Each structure stands twice: as structure tokens, then as C-alpha cells.
Structure 1
Amino acid sequence: MLNISNNSINREEILKDQSAYQDVMETSASRKLVFLLSALLFVFLVMLFFPWTQNIRARGKLTTLRPENREQNIHSMITGRIENWFVREGQLVTKGDTIVFISEVKSEYLDPMLIERSTNQTDAKKASIDTYVSKAQALAEQIAALEKNQILKTEQAENYFNQSRLKVLSDSIDFETALVNYEIAQKQFDRQQTLYDQGLKSLTELEQRKQKLQEALYKKISIENKWLASKNEFINAKLNLSVVRNEFSEKIAKAKSDRMSALSDALQAEGDFNKLSIQQSSYTKRSGFYYITAPQDGYVTKARITGIGETVKEGEAVFSFIPVNYDLAVEMYVRPIDLPLIEEGRKVQLQFDGWPALVFNGWPGMSFGTYSGRIVAYDRAASPNGQFRVLVAPDPNTAEWPQLLRLGSGTYGIALLKKVPVWYELWRNLNGFPPDFYKEEAAYNPDKKSK
């Protein structure tokens, strides 16, 4: 039993009398099982050398390439009260169709003649601007006339001043002459008086000299008065010149001040006019917000505010809207470890929820019911779920995606990588190694159209 002896044991001789052994060895099913297991082992060994396409698998959903084609909420631009709905949920509308009417609830906008009265205020302020501008223009013309008159009046006063100055000079010369004549007459009278006292001259001659002395004195006094009068005229002319200059300077300064006031009032009126114009434009624009219209062709999917008489706040969503025309794309999320293997143009096999498919991850050529796509973009930052969003668009060189696909449907995406043997893929997964990476020779152009 311990096989210590060198003599061999004949197993068949020992077990021939055992009925269980005989039953097993005589059953053909046991031999078939052995053959089956051997065949399966052979097939498994052969399959280990089959080609396997490495891939990145990710869940996602249908979306659109362009943001304006996705589902959107339509908001109210003003605070108001729902008065009437013109459509039902799910109805197709075209761009500009009226969907809901909102009435005003704020007290400052309740006046039914608000826009007309605002227009009248704006027009009145515009007229006041024109009035101030006309006044400023008239004052400018007045200033020009005053400056012209100032020049003429100043020239006239200067001429009068110069004439008075020359007249004073002339009268002073006449006075000096009269003074000399008077002194000469006085000396002649004194000599005549001496000669008369000596009896050399007659009384008649003395009286004649005295008469001439009186005439010279009179003439001296007369010319002196005239000279003093000329001095007064000269002073008056000088004063008149100063008065003319000051008077016109004062008038021009006042006219300029009035003109500046008119221009200031015009600018103030223009500022008020601009405020009123903005206010009027705001009123007119606000009146257009009473009717919420469709921004583009599409479907009204869900009313956020229902019923008649409900109040909607400014910026609050009233209903959701889906455009009728959009370019489908798949939005799927990949793990950070797989992000370095993602690049634009890489091929992706897609399975859509609701569409039967038989998927072989490693053998995309044997898959049935899947559709092809190409990666067109991916986020440079992680999403809140810690994964990276990838956008996949239809491949124009393959079959088109089903027409009945709808936004938000679930998808299952398989990004295809390098082809390796099955044994290598098993070995890689057992060791936790990442997939092998390679770049396609021809870069994918998403704008290329299939011929």
C-alpha cells in the first residue's frame, strides 16, 4: 500500500471485482465527457490567440451638438400675471408664434396711456432743447453785434479824446501867447506911465496904452477860460472812452453769461430728454414682453406655470421648449484613467436604448444593431461626478442613426482602441494594466461628408 516493494501493483487486477469501477469504465458517457472537455480546452486555447479590440466602455445619453438646439426653459422678462395660453403642451410652433400672454401687475406700469404720455414728455423736452439752442444762438448774434458796436463806439470815443487832447494843446498855446501879449502890454503901459509922469507923453497916449493893456488882459482871461474848458472836454472825452469800454464790456459779459446759461439749460434739457427717451424706449420694449413667443421652430414640452391668474416673477421659467431641428450627439462620461486615450476623431460604437443589439466588445465587426460615431469634443475639466464628458457625433461615412431617436435617451458607447490577442487582454485585465494606445494614421475630419 505504501509502495515500498519494488513489485508493481496491477490496478486492473485489484479493481476488476469492484462493481462501481466496472460501471464507470463501461459507460460511454464518461468517454464523451472527456472528449468534450478536451475539445473545450482546445477551443479555449485557440480562442486565446484570436484578435481582440481593446475598448473603453461608458454610459451616456442623447443630446445635441449645438447648445441652442437643446431643451431650454423660456423665462418671463417681467413680473406679471398669466392671462391666456395660446398653445398646449407638446404642440409644434413656429418662430414668433405667441405662446402665452402676461398682464402687468406693477403699479408704475398700470397706466394704459403710459407710452403716449411718455412720448409727449419726450417731445416737450425736445422742444425745450430747441428753444434753449435758439436762445443761445440769438445771444451769440447779440454778442457779435455788441462787439462790432463796441469797436465803432470805441473808435468814436478815441477820436473825440484825441480831438480834445489836441484842442487842449492848441488852447494852451493860445493862452501862453495871450499871457506873453499881456506881459508885453503891461511893460508898455508901465513905460508909458513913466514917460507920462516925466511929461514926455500925453494923457491920450497913456490912456491908449491902458486900453491895450485891458484888451490884452481880457484876451488872456478869455483864452484861459477856453483852455480850461478844453481841459474839461478832454477829461470828459477820457471819461467817455472809459465809459464806452466798460459799458460794452458789461453788456457783452452779460450776453455771454446769458448764452452760457442758455447752453447749460440746453444741456440739462438734453440730459432730461435722453432719460425720458430711455424711459420711453424701456416702456415700449416692456410692452413687447407681455407676449412670450417661440424663439425658433420647436415643441412646447412642459408648462412650468399653469393656470390663468397665476403670477410669474421676473426671470422665472414659464415653459420648456425643444427645437424641431437639431443635430444629434451622444454625451457620455469616461473615467479619468481613460481620458488620455480619448482624442477627437476616434471611432465609437453606440448602442441606443430601445434598439435591439447584440454587442461583442472585443469584436465590433460581429456586433449587430450598433451604430458608429466619432468623438468631436471632450471637456478639459472633470464634471461634478468626477468623470470627463465626451461628445460623439454620427460618423458620416457609416449608416445614419435611427430617425426616431429622442433627446435624453440612454446610450452605451464603446470607444475602439488597439487590436491585441485575447490572452493578452486577459493578462492585462488580471494585472490591472491600462489599454494599449495608438493613433490612427488619418486624422478624422468631422466636416467631411460621405459621397
Structure 2
Amino acid sequence: MELQSVNQIYHIHKRSRVKRWFLFIFLGGIIVLFLPWTQNIKVQGNVSTLYQEQRPQQLNSPIPGRIIKWYVKNGDYVKKGDTLLQLSEVKEDYLDPLLVKRTEQQVEAKKGVRDYYEAKVGTTNSQLQALNSARDLKLSQLKVKISQLNNKLAGEEAELEAAKNELRMASDQYERQKKMYDEGLVSLTQFQQRSVSYQNALAKKTATENKLAQTRQEIVNVSIEQNATIQDYNEKLSKTEGDRFQSMGQIEGSDGDIAKLENQVANYRARQGLYFVIASQDGQVVQINKAGIGEILKDGESIATIVPDKVDYAVEIYIKPVDLPLVKEGQRVMCIFDGFPAIVFSGWPNSSYGTFAGKVIAIENNISANGMFKALVIQDKNEKQWPPKIKMGTGVQGIAILNDVPIWYELWRNINGFPPDYYEVKTEKSAKDEKSKK
């Protein structure tokens, strides 16, 4: 009896279709080899932003201080200008609660000192004017006296000349009278009278010479007094001028001290405004580093991080140096974000699901610490929008789109280890140029 199970399991009596299937598969493989394949470069990266102010901002302590009150907790959303925490002073130089008021009092005291020195300068100017007037008056008096003495000297010189003439006449008369007396022509009495006249003329000449010498000495004394007056008033004026310059120097020094104290007042007021740490922008407060009340913060110490609400997202991708010549600005990149499911056909990007298009806007010329070159990719506004739930730091897998080639060419390239084809990206400007040429 023939077993039915054998006939059901082993189809030895049926006609084989292996050749037909083989032929179909072979022809299908040949057809597939001529299908288009999009060359690409696979890269890794993460979500970032184009603008520095939209990156997570570290919140630092502007001054050293002690935390006395918290106004937020981890995860809270804040607006720009909201108070996050309150600090108190820990430095002994700023512990005085009336520090600003006392410093302002020092400023007013310095201003008073400056006003006193300005008044002293005014008084010194009056003294200088008085001394100059007194010197001019004294010198005028001495000049008048010298002029009078010069006139007196001229008169005495004329008187001396007259005395000399009279003496010469008396001397001639005396000589003639003596000769006549010796010859006996005149009496002794007449001779004695003529001798007395001669002696009187001689005495008159001597007296006149003495008066002339005294007048000349008075002129010299007045000249000496004039020089002494000039020297004395110059010393007084120099001393007064020195006091004036000293007062002016004190005024300038007071102005410098006032400016310094006013600067301190401004700094103290600004420091008091730093006791309340405020949010630098809208966002979420995360990574608070201090536990609670009473902890001491150092100058510039990190307190927390604020993640901005509104971000213009971009993707930072890292390109191997060997692939760098293949990537240009404006090149299309398909992005796959972590946490968002995707079905990817790397050779047929248009058939992939869950990918988001972007374009390269910048490539850094400096190599990064990981040995690769960083490029920035932004959203392509002409295609599907990026998911709104992506966050800063999210991992990204990128596929940089290159040339369209047949599958057989791509297989042949990979078997031989050749790189993808180099090509130039057509920007909007180059496309317009081509249209204008046509």
C-alpha cells in the first residue's frame, strides 16, 4: 500500500521550477544593479544652536556671599529678571549697613576741604594783588626820591662849578695881592683881607664838594634800597605764589579723592544690587549646585544652569578628515534624532521615514579634540519641519547626501575601496547665474 505521507513530503513526481526562479532572480538582480543609488557619508553629532545666548547659560555668583533665601527650585521656569536667590555679605569691608551713607559723608567732607582751599586760593590772589600794588607804590616813591636827588645833584654840581670859578678868581686876586704886598704897593691889612677872601672861597668849594658827595651817596643808598625793596617783595610774592600753588595742588588732590570716593559709592551701590541674583533670560532652572540656606559662595562660583525656552536649533556634526573634501556649505544632510523612530534606506533618502532634512551652513577649519572637523547644519525650511520636542544635547545621526549613481557602480566602488564621488553643490547664486547664461 502506497503511503500518502511520502507523496506529500517528497515531490519527486512534480515538475521542478528551480530554473524559472533562478532566471527571474538573475534578471531581477541585473535590473536592480541599474537602479539609482544615492551616495552618502554617515556622521554623528548632537543638537545645538547657532547663537551663544541660546545655549544653556551657567549662572555664577557675582560676589562672594552667604545664601539667605532661595526663590526657585530645580525644574522651575523663570522669566528674565526674576529673582533666583538672595545673598548677604561675608567680607568685613562691606559689613557696615551704612557703608554707602558714610562714604557719601566722606565725599561731602572732601568737597568742603576743596571749597576751603579754593577760598584760600582766592585770598592768596588778593594778597598777590596787594603785594604787587605795594611794590609798585614803594618803587614809585623811590624813583621820585632818586629823581629829586638827581635834581639836587645837578644843582650842587652847578654850585660846585661856581665855587671853583670863585676860588680861581680869589686865588688870582690873592696871588696879585701878595705880589703887590711884597713890592710894598698895598698894606698888610689889604693883603690879609684878600687872604681871608681866598680862604673863604676855598672853604666854600670844599663844602660844596662834601654836599655833592653826600648827595651822590644818598642816590646810591636809594638805589640800594630800591633793589632791596624789589628783592623783598619778590620773596614775599614767591612765598605767596607758592602758597597759592600749594592750595591749588590740594584742590586737585581733593578732586582726585572725591572722584575716588564717588567711585567707591557707585561700586557699593552696584554691589548692593548684586545681593539678589536674577535670571539672565527666560528658561528652565536646572543643575542647582548649592543645597540650601547658609552656604558660602565664592566669587564667580557656579550656582545653577538656565536652559533657554526659545532656541533656534542646529545640529553639530563631526566629519572625518578623509570625508572633509566631500562636504560643502549648502549640502543636504538627512538627520535622525535620538528618541524619534526612523526607517532609513541610506541609498534612497526620499524613501526613508523619520528623517529630517537640513543643510550645511558652516564648516570649521580647525580640527576638534576628537580628531574630526565640526560642521553646523540648520533646518531646511522648504521641507518637513524638525520635531518641536528635540532638546539641546540630543544625539543625532546624519547622512550627508552626495551623488546619484547606479547600484553596480556603488558595489564596484566599495569592492575597490574607492571614496565617494567628489561633486560641487549648486547654490542659489550659481543656479541664477546659469539661468542668466541660458
Q: TM-score, normalised by structure 2?
A: 0.88
The separation in 1 between residues aligned to 2:175 and 2:109, in whole angstroms, is 95
Deviation at 1:385, TM superposition (A): 0.9
Give the direction of change, closer, same or farther, for the CA distance of 1:444–1:329 in structure 2 (3 Å limit).
farther
Match of 1:314 in 2: 299
1:421 aligns with 2:406: yes
The separation in 2 between residues aligned to 1:411 and 1:145, in whole angstroms, is 91
Match of 1:64 in 2: 49
Deviation at 1:329, TM superposition (A): 0.8
Deviation at 1:32, TM superposition (A): 4.4
1:55-97 residue CA offsets vs partner (Å, 9 max, x unmatched): 1111221111101100021101211111111112222222111
Q: 1:43 aligns with which of 4, 23, 28?
A: 28
1:26 aligns with 2:19: no
Match of 2:194 in 1: 209
Q: 1:436 aligns with which of 421, 426, 429?
A: 421
Match of 2:433 in 1: none
What does 1:219-238 align with in structure 2 at a 5 Å threshold? 219-238=204-223
Q: 2:78 aligns with which of 93, 99, 105?
A: 93
Contact (CA 8 Å) 1:164, 1:237: kept in 2 or not?
A: no
Percent of paired sites with the same residue? 39
Match of 2:94 in 1: 109
Q: 1:240 aligns with which of 225, 229, 232?
A: 225
1:360 aligns with 2:353: no
1:11-33 residue CA offsets vs partner (Å, 9 max, x unmatched): xxxxxxxx99xx675355xx345
Match of 1:122 in 2: 107
Q: Which runs of 5+ in 1 are unaligned?
A: 1-18, 446-451
1:78 aligns with 2:60: no
The separation in 2 between residues aligned to 1:246 and 1:33, in whole angstroms, is 138
Q: Identify the range of structure 1 (332-341 vs 141-150) with the bigger mean alpha-carbon deviation.
A: 141-150
The separation in 1 between residues aligned to 2:77 and 2:141, in whole angstroms, is 90
What does 1:152-191 align with in structure 2 at a 5 Å threshold? 153-191=138-176
Q: Describe the SS at the equivalent of 1:26.
A: coil
Q: Which runs of 5+ in 2 are unaligned?
A: 1-5, 431-438
Q: Identify the range of structure 1 (136-145 vs 371-380) with the bigger mean alpha-carbon deviation.
A: 136-145
Match of 2:394 in 1: 409
Contact (CA 8 Å) 1:62, 1:406: kept in 2 or not?
A: yes
Deviation at 1:307, TM superposition (A): 0.7
Match of 2:329 in 1: 344
Give the direction of change, closer, same or farther, for the CA distance of 1:239–1:425 in structure 2 (3 Å limit).
same
Give the direction of change, closer, same or farther, for the CA distance of 1:156–1:396 in structure 2 (3 Å limit).
farther
Aligned amino acid, residue 100 of structure 2: I
Give the direction of change, closer, same or farther, for the CA distance of 1:345–1:247 in structure 2 (3 Å limit).
same
Q: Describe the SS at the equivalent of 1:397.
A: coil
Match of 2:248 in 1: 263
Q: Describe the SS at the equivalent of 1:381.
A: strand
Match of 1:13 in 2: none
Q: Identify the range of structure 1 (147-156 vs 286-295) with the bigger mean alpha-carbon deviation.
A: 147-156
Q: Identify the range of structure 1 (44-53 vs 151-160) with the bigger mean alpha-carbon deviation.
A: 151-160
Match of 2:372 in 1: 387
Give the direction of change, closer, same or farther, for the CA distance of 1:215–1:128 in structure 2 (3 Å limit).
same
Contact (CA 8 Å) 2:328, 2:425: kept in 1 or not?
A: no
Match of 1:326 in 2: 311
Match of 2:260 in 1: 275
The separation in 2 between residues aligned to 1:438 and 1:212, in whole angstroms, is 144
The separation in 1 between residues aligned to 2:265 and 2:87, in whole angstroms, is 20
Q: Describe the SS at the equivalent of 2:287.
A: strand
Q: Identify the range of structure 1 (152-161 vs 180-189) with the bigger mean alpha-carbon deviation.
A: 152-161
1:134-164 residue CA offsets vs partner (Å, 9 max, x unmatched): 4345434544554455455445434433443
Match of 1:304 in 2: 289
Q: Describe the SS at the equivalent of 2:239.
A: helix
The separation in 1 between residues aligned to 2:20 and 2:252, in whole angstroms, is 107
Q: Describe the SS at the equivalent of 2:378.
A: strand
The separation in 2 between residues aligned to 1:372 and 1:163, in whole angstroms, is 115
The separation in 2 between residues aligned to 1:27 and 1:116, in whole angstroms, is 112
The separation in 1 between residues aligned to 2:312 and 2:240, in whole angstroms, is 72
Match of 1:200 in 2: 185
The separation in 1 between residues aligned to 2:391 and 2:156, in whole angstroms, is 119
The separation in 2 between residues aligned to 1:376 and 1:190, in whole angstroms, is 137
Contact (CA 8 Å) 1:83, 1:101: kept in 2 or not?
A: yes
The separation in 2 between residues aligned to 1:398 and 1:379, in whole angstroms, is 26
Q: TM-score, normalised by structure 1?
A: 0.85
Contact (CA 8 Å) 1:304, 1:320: kept in 2 or not?
A: no
Q: Identify the range of structure 1 (374-383 vs 175-184) with the bigger mean alpha-carbon deviation.
A: 175-184
Deviation at 1:314, TM superposition (A): 0.8
The separation in 1 between residues aligned to 2:93 and 2:77, in whole angstroms, is 36
Deviation at 1:444, TM superposition (A): 7.5
The separation in 1 between residues aligned to 2:191 and 2:404, in whole angstroms, is 162
Give the direction of change, closer, same or farther, for the CA distance of 1:129–1:343 in structure 2 (3 Å limit).
farther
